[in-house]
A and B are shown apart, each in its own frame.
Chain A
Amino acid sequence: MKQERLEDEIEKALSKEIEFQLPDHFTDHVMQQLQERQTVTDHNLPWVLLISGLFLVLCGIVTVALYTELLQPERFLSSATWITTITLSIGIIQYLDKKLVKDKIRMNQIA
């Protein structure tokens, strides 16, 4: 009898709510976070488009350059220089963009 009662009491205890409650403003806070992340995504969009555009242009330039090199090997040095310059520029843009987005997220978290 005592055993059965103990089992019942354990069952009842197991189905009792955990003593932890989220604050009342929890839903508002999540909504705010979602909106801020959306803002960051929106902010990022022009950069993504710009970088994608530059990447396509670079692909075109490389194709033309390779074609030219095949015909005129003496122009190799000059074309290699500006291809490297463009690649580096894109790298720097991507780095700055990521840094800006990260800073924005961090600022939102602090706020």
Chain B
Amino acid sequence: MNDQELVNRVLTGDQHATRVLIDQYQRLVVHTVARLIDHDQDREELCQDVFIKVFQNLGNFKFDSKLSTWIVTIAYRLSINFLKKQKKRKSEQDLDKVAFELGTADSSVEDRDFARFIHRLIQQMPEQYRTVLTLYHLDGFAYPEIVEITGMPEGTVKNYLFRARKKLKELSEPFVGTEIHNI
């Protein structure tokens, strides 16, 4: 079932199609929300709100963009609004001024998982860096789609991606010994 067919069936009240849509786009919504929001309960509630909003506005969706882009845009905006309301936005929006907590050498060795270490670093970055990294690397969105989702200019998106990756490299380099998995 393609997106257009799926949307049409949801709009006619087909419950099975509604379930399919939720299951199909759950992963994307989780990535966007979980990258920006810290607590699991808030994440779950926001994911629910995203889908409620999606279904409330599905009738207005005109397929000007991909359905996935539209849904992620809703997830991104709701997450940012949530952070604004909770006043939990990181005050420091400049990546170079963020004081990253790398953990002690011992805890890093115990962790033994480079991916976790990287994800921990990403969680400490300002929201816009976290979002572009996730959308580009994890969800495979192209630059124009990230521009549409975040409302940032393409040059800014590219700049954030470049700087975020550079920062991850700088921060993880000292921990890399002969065996990278031992971090």
Residues A10 and B172 in contact, CB atoms below 8 Å apart: yes
Interface status of B152 (Cβ within 8 A of chain A): no
**In contact, A14 and B176 (Cβ under 8 angstroms):** no
The smallest C-beta distance from A53 to any residue of chain B, in angstroms, reads 26
A20 within 8 A of B: yes
**Smallest distance from the beta carbon of A29 to chain B beta carbons, Å?**
7
Chain A residues whose CB sits within 8 angstroms of the CB of B180 once the complex forms = 5-6, 9
What is the size category of the interface that chain B forms with chain A? 35 or more
Q: Which of B52, B119, B134, B173 is within 8 Å of A33, CB to CB?
A: B52
Inter-subunit contact A31/B18 (CB<8 Å): yes
Residues of A within 8 A of B137 (CB): 11, 14-15
Does B23 count as interface, using CB distance less than 8 angstroms?
A: yes
- Do the beta carbons of B19 and A26 come within 8 Å of each other? no
Q: How far is the CB of A69 from the nearest CB of chain B, in Å?
A: 45
- In the assembly, what is the distance between CA of A10 and CA of B173, in Å? 10
Instruction: Find residues 25-66 in chain A having any chain B CB closer than 8 Å to their own CB.
Output: 26-27, 29-31, 33-34, 37
> Is A20 within 8 A of B30, CB to CB?
yes
Q: Tell me how many residue pairs across A and B have CB atoms closer than 8 Å.
A: 78
Does A19 touch B at the CB level, under 8 Å?
A: yes
Task: Tell me, rounded to whole Å, the shortest Cβ–Cβ distance linking A93 to chain B.
Answer: 26
How many Å from the CB of A104 to the closest CB on chain B? Answer: 16
Other-chain contact of A30, B40, B51, B173, B176 (Cβ < 8 Å): B51
Q: Are A26 and B44 in contact (CB under 8 A)?
A: yes
**Are A30 and B168 CB-contacts (below 8 A) given A15-B137, A16-B119, A20-B34?**
no
Asked if A14 and B51 sit within 8 Å, CB to CB, the answer is no
Q: What is the CA–CA distance of A23 and B47 in the complex, to the nearest angstrom? A: 11
Q: B residues 33-91 with Cβ under 8 Å of A?
A: 34-35, 40, 43-44, 47-48, 51-52, 55-56
In the complex, residue of chain A having the shortest beta-carbon distance to the beta carbon of B168: A10
B165 at the interface (CB under 8 A from A): yes
Bound complex: CA A6 to CA B165 (Å): 11
CA A16 to CA B18, docked complex, whole Å = 28
State A30–B26 Cα separation when bound (angstroms).
11
Chain A interface (Cβ < 8 Å from any Cβ of B):
2, 5-7, 9-23, 26-27, 29-31, 33-34, 37
Chain A to chain B contacts (Cβ below 8 Å), 9 pairs: A6-B176, A9-B114, A10-B172, A11-B137, A13-B118, A20-B43, A23-B44, A27-B22, A33-B48
